[in-house]
Structure 1
Amino acid sequence: MENHSRRSFLYSLSMLAAGTALTSPLYGFSTTKKLKLVLVGTGVRGISFWGKRLIEQYPDKLEFVGLCDINPGRVAYAKKFMGASCPTFTDFDKMIKEQKPDLIIVTTKDAVHHEYIIKGLKYGCDVLTEKPLTIDEDKCQQILAAERVSNKKLIVGFNYRWGPYVTKIKELLAEGAIGEVTSVDFNWYLNTHHGASYFRRWHGLMNGGGSLWVHKATHHFDLLNWWLDSDPEEVFAYGALEHYGKNGPFRARNCRTCDHKKDCKYYWDITKSDHDMRLYVDNEKYDGYLRDACLFRNEIDIYDKMSAQIRYANKAVVNYSLTTYSPFEGWRLAFNGQKGRIEAWTDIPFFKNENLSQAELHAAEMNQNLKGDTAVEPVILFKNWENFKTINVTSERGGHGGGDKRLHDKIFVNPNAADPLKHSAGVRDGVMSVLIGVAARKSIQTGQPIKIANLTDLKPSANRV
């Protein structure tokens, strides 16, 4: 009976991954039987958002039965920080064989997501992975193949979809407020706090995160795919490394040992964070990973300036750009349709004559406890030959616009709830968002437009299933 209950629950979970409305009874959650979780990859996102918060918010729904990381010191600290009582492992296979989890949560370095996803599916577990799904087309294809022969499913943690502000945009588009969408302008600005942080970490290397075309822009491409309800068809892009890396005026191994602390505007003192010191610095001796590595080191090989044009299967055209050293953090968006236009933005300071502290704004967005301030942001709806309408939406600055906690609640509290706007994301969503970034990289390298259909065996669809 217990095995039947577990199968029934995991079937419901797999339907969530596919974005299907759930009708099966929820057997897996009860006060006597909890969902058994393991976490592989105990970096800050894993142990906070997918670790400590789950333990604190859903103690009657789930329990961690194992934590795994290649760094034994980091996984030991993760257990204490999360307040978990489970064993820790440096051997993933040993953990799965001994603990027999229901669900594996993957929050490792992006480049090895595929290893744990594929192993997890082969072990007969459902898998939930942080975005991005992986970093290149070959790994995407491996994941697709593994998922198809498995009777398990894969959930991709696309949290931005769940925020109230982006949901309002989706609602307007879905109801045809501006008719058929013909083109989109989407500009994302990372400030000199947030943008710089990627170049300090493993994300600054192409073989770690696939560049910000994949690690960061996957968020944005998934939003576009979801908003347009269509798959990307072709990508042409430009990109360069002109600010960070070898372009810096001086460099060192890391900030703590740098001789230019007084001169470098990007100097970051990790010693001011007890959490970062315990999680990262105390455990450098095991794997040599420096959380405060110099963002001007020569080995950085990703782009810091990026622009792409994306043609969708439904013939909509998107102009996208990502800036990584902006004076302010935020984004601007415009949809052009046959019957009108939608304009939207968040945190553009001069629109409200605000003088926000960019350091505090970055801290609020990175707040893993999801207690960021609320803000009212407008969505402007123009209809041809009519006056424009301002729709005010209350959003949240912490937790990816309020999407983080809503994603958690959908998975662990209300998996049977209707999903009319298709917020839930599965393997196809993960692959299509990654492939835009992969195509952008290939376009920069070749100087040619790249067809999405040539990258994996998934063929773009004008209307997403």
Structure 2
Amino acid sequence: MATNKRRIAVVGTGHRGTGTWAGDAPATCADEVELVGLSDVNVARLAVAQRRLGPGLVASTDLSEMVAEAKPHTLVVCTRDDTHADIIVKALEDGMDVVTEKPMAVTAEQVRRILDAEARTGRRVDVAFNYRFAPTSRKIRELLASGRIGRITSCDFHWYLDTTHGADYFRRWHAYKRFSGSLFVHKATHHFDLLNWWIDADPVRVFGQGSLEKYGRNGPFRSRRCKGCPHADECEFYLDMSTSDWLEDLYEGPSAEDGYFRDACVYREDIDIYDTMTAAILYDNGVQVSYSLNAYMPIEGSHLAFNGTHGRIECRMYEKQAFDAPKGVDEILVLGTDRSVERIRVEHGPGGHFGGDPLLHKALFTPEVDDPAGQRAGARAGAMSVLTGVAATQSAETGRAVMIADLLKG
């Protein structure tokens, strides 16, 4: 293969690692990227990924061994969230650049270690914030930066996960704060990053509230997992993994090795993350944000509104709805204080996350790509989004507002 290509290796061969990064990224950037290695602590899952992606890849359950043999320029980190920091720091110290799935870390201490390692080694960390690259997200950024509604004063941002997508977080390892930091960190890191990028400022104070209202101990019955569950016929969250060859290959077979079930019961009594969350965020430029995330809705999508001194921008994104809603396109309303209204239609792009995934890959791996909107997100962006989620979680636990500066200082 061509020697001038960027050699990438992937650690963590689950759905995102095997699909989005080991599969899609080299295909999207075929002239720039060469996949050279894979690593996963689960030997059965690693074998599945290697079989699907190509027998010529270096594959090992020992990450250091794989790196030594494959010699990647960039390591793509797709492991469980709480393991990101150790892997990122070691990769930087070993002379590699890093692309990490979000969230970059799950604690403030981990964030500080990554920032220190990046500064100390001179290597680069990029965070996979694919939502920045969705066409609608970029258009909103352009409208705000143009001053169309004057100085931004406040924002309402509400994200809805339906009972398919939302429930999935409660089946998996994400259901425990020690692994995911809570959905304030794992899921909302996307949303907090968008806010930070759109507003073009840093959050300084966060007050959060959270509760578990639908899943976990709230369930009317429970079992260990969906497979073999005696309540399968009456449970609204029953998942039959046998209908998906992808899930069966990557998770069901490998579960015999490590005991991790992809279809664990959403009503497990030890689940400790929230499914109902709100946060009030204050930025250093004075912008006030009201944010919410709910994980058991009959709809999937988001509602966004920016208020400014000369108008308002609104956008409702429809992903999955029970009613007739626009498909493949978003409408942005720009409302002036003079009662003027402009409707802007933005079509989704091809690929995952409304077209964001392939554009993210190109931004990371195609050197000549310009970035006038600042869509490529480094370690600092990853840090600020994680710390917003950490602050919201701490606030929900203590009942007190949390300052981001305090988390950065440690």
Q: TM-score range by the shorter chain?
A: over 0.9
Could you tell me which amino acid in structure 1 is paired with residue 404 of structure 2? I
In the superposition, relative to structure 1, how do residues 65 and 52 fare at CA in structure 2: closer, same or farther (>3 Å)?
A: same
In the superposition, relative to structure 1, how do residues 343 and 200 fare at CA in structure 2: closer, same or farther (>3 Å)?
A: same
Out of 380, 403, 409, which is 1:451 matched to?
403
Out of 183, 191, 194, which is 2:154 matched to?
183
Could you tell me which amino acid in structure 1 is paired with residue 343 of structure 2? T
CA contact (8 A) 1:130 1:156 kept: yes
Question: In the alignment, what sits opposite 2:288?
Answer: 317
What secondary structure, in the 3-state scheme, does the structure 2 residue paired with 1:53 have? helix
Out of 359, 376, 390, which is 1:438 matched to?
390
- 1:397 deviates by 8.4
Distance 1:147 1:349 in 2: 39
Question: In the alignment, what sits opposite 1:167?
Answer: 138
Distance 1:408 1:349 in 2: 25
Distance 2:236 2:350 in 1: 25
The question of 1:287 aligning with 2:240 is answered: no
Question: In the alignment, what sits opposite 1:368?
Answer: none
CA deviation map 1:182-204 (0-9, x unaligned): 00000100000000000000001
- 1:349 deviates by 7.3
Could you tell me which amino acid in structure 2 is paired with residue 205 of structure 1? Y
- 1:410 deviates by 1.6
What secondary structure, in the 3-state scheme, does the structure 1 residue paired with 2:254 have? helix
CA deviation map 1:266-313 (0-9, x unaligned): 101011111111111111121111000001011211000000000000
Distance 2:360 2:205 in 1: 30
Distance 2:69 2:82 in 1: 26
Could you tell me which amino acid in structure 2 is paired with residue 174 of structure 1? A
Question: In the alignment, what sits opposite 1:382?
Answer: 335
CA contact (8 A) 2:351 2:358 kept: no
Question: In the alignment, what sits opposite 2:195?
Answer: 224
Distance 1:156 1:190 in 2: 23
CA contact (8 A) 1:31 1:61 kept: no
Question: In the alignment, what sits opposite 2:381?
Answer: 429
CA contact (8 A) 1:375 1:397 kept: no
The question of 1:40 aligning with 2:11 is answered: yes
Out of 360, 364, 377, which is 1:411 matched to?
364
Distance 2:400 2:296 in 1: 27
Question: Where does structure 1 differ by over 6 angstroms across 4 or more consecutive aligned residues?
Answer: none
- 1:31 deviates by 4.1
CA RMSD of aligned residues (A): 1.7
What secondary structure, in the 3-state scheme, does the structure 2 residue paired with 1:246 have? helix
Distance 1:395 1:186 in 2: 20
- 1:417 deviates by 2.6
Distance 1:248 1:396 in 2: 39
Distance 2:197 2:4 in 1: 35
Out of 339, 343, 346, which is 2:310 matched to?
339
CA deviation map 1:235-279 (0-9, x unaligned): 001100111011100101100021000010110101111111111
Question: In the alignment, what sits opposite 1:354?
Answer: 324
CA deviation map 1:200-227 (0-9, x unaligned): 0000111111110011000000000000
Distance 2:261 2:163 in 1: 20
Q: Give the fraction of aligned pairs with identical amino acids, expressed as a percent.
A: 46
Could you tell me which amino acid in structure 1 is paired with residue 223 of structure 2? A
In the superposition, relative to structure 1, how do residues 59 and 387 fare at CA in structure 2: closer, same or farther (>3 Å)?
A: closer
The question of 1:137 aligning with 2:90 is answered: no
CA contact (8 A) 1:221 1:433 kept: yes
Distance 2:193 2:81 in 1: 17
Which aligned pairs between 1:149-298 and structure 2 lie closer than 5 A? 149-298=120-269
- 1:109 deviates by 0.3
In the superposition, relative to structure 1, how do residues 158 and 54 fare at CA in structure 2: closer, same or farther (>3 Å)?
A: same
In the superposition, relative to structure 1, how do residues 241 and 268 fare at CA in structure 2: closer, same or farther (>3 Å)?
A: same
CA contact (8 A) 2:134 2:354 kept: yes
Q: Could you list the runs of 5+ residues in structure 2 that have no partner in the other structure?
A: none
Distance 1:453 1:416 in 2: 36
Distance 2:402 2:36 in 1: 44
CA contact (8 A) 1:48 1:82 kept: no
